[in-house]
């Protein structure tokens, strides 16, 4: 079997430089997406090229963070190519759907943001997603949640009478409120609207994103869990 060529030092140096640059931006976005947009993005003639690189970094970070947890909690084969590619694509689609909906909802509410700058702002803001995803894993520690995913029974009592489910729901709600608080100033700048319209834009995009999670992502994840259970 032929040996795979090792990457050169120059290639490794470029990768390290790229990762360091994106990690610095990641921390700045978590601190304040609005300030980062105002300082680093708003004046760029082509903001998408840099934001796409950052989005790739976010997807990488999310995958690295989520894969070990899925392997331990759900016994999912995270190295299965089909699961890996499908999960990455669904995650990317969720971010794209939310980003485009922020643009269209803003335009419907008479916002002035242009598509490249709105998408760039939302691609950078995707760094906030990791907070919600990590809080979701608290709920998934509940054995009743696993049973719900396998059977497809979404009865409310699975959470109403489960201390872990209640704690996870509270943490997830707290994370969502934190993200909305972070996004409102950003949407105000991007679409040149007031606070109320910024909240409405986020609400519209959030509702559509929740529908995507329930009717696309959850059925896919349930099939992964069922496959792992049968194995």
* Structural domain includes residue 5: no
Instruction: Using pLDDT thresholds of 50, 70 and 90, give the confidence band for residue 11.
Output: confident
Q: What is the DSSP letter of 158?
A: H
* Structural domain includes residue 172: yes
* Structural domain includes residue 6: no
Instruction: Using pLDDT thresholds of 50, 70 and 90, give the confidence band for residue 200.
Output: very high
Q: What is the average per-residue pLDDT within 139-152?
A: 72
Say what the pLDDT of residue 140 is. 75
Instruction: Using pLDDT thresholds of 50, 70 and 90, give the confidence band for residue 150.
Output: low
Say what the pLDDT of residue 169 is. 83
Say what the pLDDT of residue 154 is. 59
Between CA 6 and CA 44 the distance in angstroms is 36
Please provide the average confidence, as pLDDT, over all residues in the chain.
85
The domain containing residue 163 runs over which residues? 44-230
Check whether 28 has a pLDDT greater than 90.
yes
Residue 201 vs residue 130, higher pLDDT? 201
Q: What is the average per-residue pLDDT within 14-19?
A: 85
Q: Which of 73-77, 149-153, 189-193 has the lowest mean pLDDT?
A: 149-153
For residue 210 the two structure tokens come to 């929740």
Exposure string over 6-35, b if 16+ CB within 10 A, otherwise e: eeeeeeeeeeeeeeeebeebbebbeeebbe
Instruction: Using pLDDT thresholds of 50, 70 and 90, give the confidence band for residue 230.
Output: low
Say what the pLDDT of residue 162 is. 74
What interhelical angle do 81-108 and 47-73 show, nearest 10? Answer: 130
Q: What is the average per-residue pLDDT within 158-187?
A: 86
* Structural domain includes residue 117: yes
* Structural domain includes residue 74: yes
Are residues 167 and 161 in contact, defined by beta-carbon separation less than 8 angstroms? no
Say what the pLDDT of residue 159 is. 57
Say what the pLDDT of residue 84 is. 78
The predicted model scores a pTM of: 0.87
* Structural domain includes residue 24: no
- Give the Å distances, CA to CA, from 166 to 141, 162, 173: 12, 6, 11
* Structural domain includes residue 215: yes
Interval 50-79: pLDDT, tens: 999 999 999 999 888 887 777 777 777 767
Instruction: Using pLDDT thresholds of 50, 70 and 90, give the confidence band for residue 1.
Output: very low
Say what the pLDDT of residue 3 is. 55
* Structural domain includes residue 8: no
**Number of domains comprising the chain:** 1
């Amino acid at each position: 079997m032929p040996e795979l060529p090792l990457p050169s030092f120059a290639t490794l140096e470029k990768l390290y430089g790229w990762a360091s640059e994106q990690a610095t931006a990641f921390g700045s976005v978590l601190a304040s997406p609005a300030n980062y947009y105002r300082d680093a993005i708003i004046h760029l003639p082509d903001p998408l090229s840099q934001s796409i690189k950052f989005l790739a970094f976010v997807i990488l970070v999310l995958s690295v963070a989520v894969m070990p947890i899925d392997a331990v909690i759900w016994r999912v084969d995270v190295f299965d190519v089909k699961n890996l590619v499908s999960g990455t694509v669904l995650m990317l689609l969720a971010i794209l759907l939310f980003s485009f909906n922020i643009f269209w909802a803003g335009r419907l509410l008479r916002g002035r943001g242009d598509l490249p700058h709105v998408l760039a702002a939302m691609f950078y803001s995707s760094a906030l997603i990791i907070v919600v995803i990590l809080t979701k894993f608290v709920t998934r520690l509940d054995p009743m949640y696993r049973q719900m995913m396998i059977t497809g029974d979404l009865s409310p009592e699975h959470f109403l009478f489960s201390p872990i489910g209640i704690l996870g729901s509270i943490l997830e709600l707290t994370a969502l409120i934190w993200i909305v608080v972070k996004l409102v100033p950003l949407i105000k700048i991007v679409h040149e609207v007031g606070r109320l319209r910024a909240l409405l834009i986020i609400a519209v995009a959030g509702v559509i994103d929740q529908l995507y999670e329930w009717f696309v992502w959850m059925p896919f994840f349930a099939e992964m869990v069922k496959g792992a259970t049968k194995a």
